[in-house]
Amino acid sequence: ERPVLFKQELQNEEAKEGKQVRLSCELSKAGTPVKWMKGDTVLCASEKYEFKQHGTVAELIIRDVKSVDA
């Protein structure tokens, strides 16, 4: 079985404090589970973080962005 690779890597995004930002990446295989992390911390779905996955595209939406989210 071939390894899963990034077809489109995560890009830096800018957002104003209090707004939301959407981060996305594209994988080489649809339905691959994605683990979103900030440093060594695994992010969990909450009011702040929303995860979406459509085929090979995985998205992280961060709501109410603060400077600590950088």
The CATH number that domain 6-69 falls under is: 2.60.40.10
pLDDT of the residue at 64 = 96
pLDDT at 5 over 80: yes
User: What is the reported pTM?
Assistant: 0.87
Question: Which residues share a beta bridge with 41?
Answer: 38
CA distance 37 to 40: 7
- The DSSP letter of residue 21 is E
For residue 21, what pLDDT is reported?
96
pLDDT per position as a tens digit, 30-64: 989 999 999 999 999 999 999 999 999 999 999 99
* pLDDT at position 1: 75
DSSP 30-64: TT-----EETTEEP--SSSEEEEEETTEEEEEE-S
